[in-house]
Structure 1
Amino acid sequence: MSREDLLGGLSAVATQGQVRQISHEQLHRAPWQPRRSFPRDSLLALARSVRREGVRQNLIVRPSPQQPGRYEIIAGERRWRASAPDLSTNLQLSVEEAQSLTGAPPRTLPCLVLTIDDHDARRLSAVENLQREDLDAVDEALYRLLLIQDVLSEGQTDAAPDDPSTLAQTLGRRLHAVRNHPEKHEDERTRLETLFASLGTMTWESFVTNNLPLLQLPHDLLDAVREGRMAGRSALLIHRQTDPALRQALLDASETGASFQDLRRLVDDHQGKRWKGLAADVRQNLGARTLERLDDQRRARVMRLLEQLHEELRGDAR
């Protein structure tokens, strides 16, 4: 399936749009737009380019449904942010950084104005943004989730909630049902396979296993991934730990640049120490006098556990 096929006819709609110069103040981000991460250095570099050469690629917008006379950005929010007159304040630029912005910000931006509904606007935005190389793992997962919502919702146009975990949990239950009982959800499974075949890079099952859990992380870890301070799988590894001391040790190591492999070794070392301590405690309490002091029921339970342990260790020895 081609990108145009994925857009479901939106390419034809785009040819009917008009390119206009629209002032920065008339544009605003879409409230349903999931992207939150705009790396500071990358935005500053784009702002320098915009002031030297102008905005060379059209933004895609539509008349704002909520604010008459204004336009909602479907694709191109990064260019809009880089063109802001108050960029220095927004990015808290140093004197040297502000001086590197030669020239004035553009007063107007070239925009392709489309007349499309919420459903098509979100779909077009998701596909356009997934072509970008500067998306962080969380934003990429959110855009994929919006497309999943689109193919599973059969025309519903509910916008993504402010809290991504709500949408992730709702669609996650449905996706797990499709994965665990494919015979009961053949149509949904086919739609998901077709969608992810067109997007490339992964299957929908891989998305459910590796990407969907990212959206359910607590805010501190989610922000760390968004800001590039932590890899997604490092955040998931930290989130799975129930020992507060180990979790804090992993957070501290991650803040100093530890890789996922480094964090994995810390977890393995910690678990090894736990097993050594547990084995020492068991050995200390396995004396004949300790067992003799147990009542009959507890002694019988201990004996069953010892027999299971004995068989397990014998199996390893064999």
Structure 2
Amino acid sequence: MSREDLLGGLSAVATQGQVRQISYEQLHRASWQPRRSFPRDSLLALARSVRREGVRQNLIVRPSPQQPGRYEIIAGERRWRASAPDLAATLQLSVDEERGLTGPPPRTLPCLILTLDDQDARRLSAVENLQREDLDAIDEALYRLLLIQDVLGDRPHADPDNASTLAQTLGRRLHAIRNHPEQHGDERTRLETLFASLGTMTWESFVTNNLPLLQLPQDLLDAVREGRIAGRSALLIHRQTDPALRQALLTASETGASFQELRRLVDDQQGKRWKGLAADVRQNLGTRTLERLDDQRRARVMRLLEQLQDELQGSRS
């Protein structure tokens, strides 16, 4: 299914829009827009291009529902940010970097103005942004959630900054649909159609592998957004309960370690932990130690030892 099929009737609406130049100050980001990651170096490179050649692709906007006389950006926020008059201060550019910005920022940007309701604006924004290759894993998951909310008829969450709450709210429903297919046949069909249109993964895979990213703690969430670690590695780090191991994995990942290398570090650490535990148990299983226990505790230890012996013998068979 093509992008036009996914957008449905919006393709016809887009052909009826009006293109005009709009000043930077008249534009603003959408409050529901989930994308938060705009890598500094990439934005600076785009700003240099904008200063030399202008904005070559139309932004997609609509009349602002909250701010009369202004326009809400549906797609093209990165181009708008790169055109900012105060870009040097915002990005904290060095003197050399600022010299590389030849020419003034554009005073106006070319915009395609569409008349869209909230639902259609979110759908168009999600589809347009999911075509991009520079989305981080967190933003991609959030845009997919926007489309899931659309096809399931859910009211969008009011706070896109709170990724964890958003994932919990919709995640419960998605888990119910996955775990009880006999009760959610129509919803499953809609999800399957949506993800077939988007490609790259099934909706079940999204629930298992991508949705958990939105519930990462803030330090790992920021690291994924900033491109310092991969989403898969962040989930592995998050599962570790040993603070020292967690920090070692984070440091290794930020310096370029692959997921497989992190997995080996975890396995090595678990092996050391097992050896240490076995040594402690051997030391505490002396006859004198057992004799010092009262009858009830000694009986409990003996039962545990018998269970352990059964498990170890079973592993050899």
| TM-score category (smaller protein) | over 0.9
Q: 3-state SS of the aligned residue for 1:66?
A: coil
Q: Tell me which residue corresponds to 2:15.
A: 15
Tell me, in whole angstroms, the C-alpha distance in 1 between the residues paired with 2:22 and 2:183. 50
Matched letter for residue 184 of structure 2: H
Shift of 1:160: 4.7
Q: Which runs of 5+ in 2 are unaligned?
A: none
Shift of 1:308: 2.3
Map residues 83-102 of structure 1 onto 2, 5 A cutoff.
83-102=83-102
Which string of whole-angstrom CA distances, capped at 9 and with x for unpartnered residues, describes residues 203-250 of structure 1? Answer: 111111111111111111111111111111121111111112222222
Percentage of matched positions with identical amino acids = 88
Contact 1:221 1:235 in 2 (8 A): yes
Deviates most, 299-308 or 264-273: 299-308
Shift of 1:15: 1.0
Q: Tell me which residue corresponds to 1:147.
A: 147
Tell me, in whole angstroms, the C-alpha distance in 1 between the residues paired with 2:202 and 2:168. 19
Tell me, in whole angstroms, the C-alpha distance in 1 between the residues paired with 2:267 and 2:106. 54
Tell me, in whole angstroms, the C-alpha distance in 1 between the residues paired with 2:198 and 2:16. 25
Tell me, in whole angstroms, the C-alpha distance in 1 between the residues paired with 2:302 and 2:35. 58
Deviates most, 52-61 or 72-81: 52-61
Contact 1:146 1:160 in 2 (8 A): no
Tell me, in whole angstroms, the C-alpha distance in 2 between the residues paired with 1:161 and 1:255. 27
Which string of whole-angstrom CA distances, capped at 9 and with x for unpartnered residues, describes residues 32-68 of structure 1? Answer: 1110111111111111111222111110000001111
Matched letter for residue 130 of structure 2: L
Shift of 1:290: 3.0
Q: Tell me which residue corresponds to 1:28.
A: 28
Q: Tell me which residue corresponds to 1:231.
A: 230
Q: Tell me which residue corresponds to 1:47.
A: 47
> What's the RMSD between the two structures over aligned residues?
1.6
Map residues 1-318 of structure 1 onto 2, 5 A cutoff.
1-153=1-153, 156=155, 158-318=157-317
Tell me, in whole angstroms, the C-alpha distance in 1 between the residues paired with 2:137 and 2:66. 30
Matched letter for residue 54 of structure 1: G
Shift of 1:124: 0.5
Contact 2:84 2:105 in 1 (8 A): yes
Shift of 1:283: 1.4
Summarize the Cα distance change of 1:157–1:306 in structure 2 as closer, same or farther, 3 Å threshold. closer
Tell me, in whole angstroms, the C-alpha distance in 1 between the residues paired with 2:37 and 2:78. 10
Tell me, in whole angstroms, the C-alpha distance in 1 between the residues paired with 2:100 and 2:210. 38
Shift of 1:261: 2.5
Q: When the two structures are superposed, what TM-score results if normalisation uses the length of structure 1?
A: 0.95
Contact 1:62 1:113 in 2 (8 A): yes
Matched letter for residue 312 of structure 1: E
Matched letter for residue 232 of structure 2: R
Matched letter for residue 281 of structure 1: D
Contact 2:33 2:160 in 1 (8 A): no
Contact 1:28 1:70 in 2 (8 A): yes
Q: Which runs of 5+ in 1 are unaligned?
A: none
Q: When the two structures are superposed, what TM-score results if normalisation uses the length of structure 2?
A: 0.95
Matched letter for residue 168 of structure 1: A
Q: 3-state SS of the aligned residue for 2:236?
A: helix
Count the aligned residue pairs.
317
Deviates most, 82-91 or 115-124: 82-91
Tell me, in whole angstroms, the C-alpha distance in 2 between the residues paired with 1:263 and 1:39. 25
Contact 1:118 1:157 in 2 (8 A): no
Q: 3-state SS of the aligned residue for 2:12?
A: helix
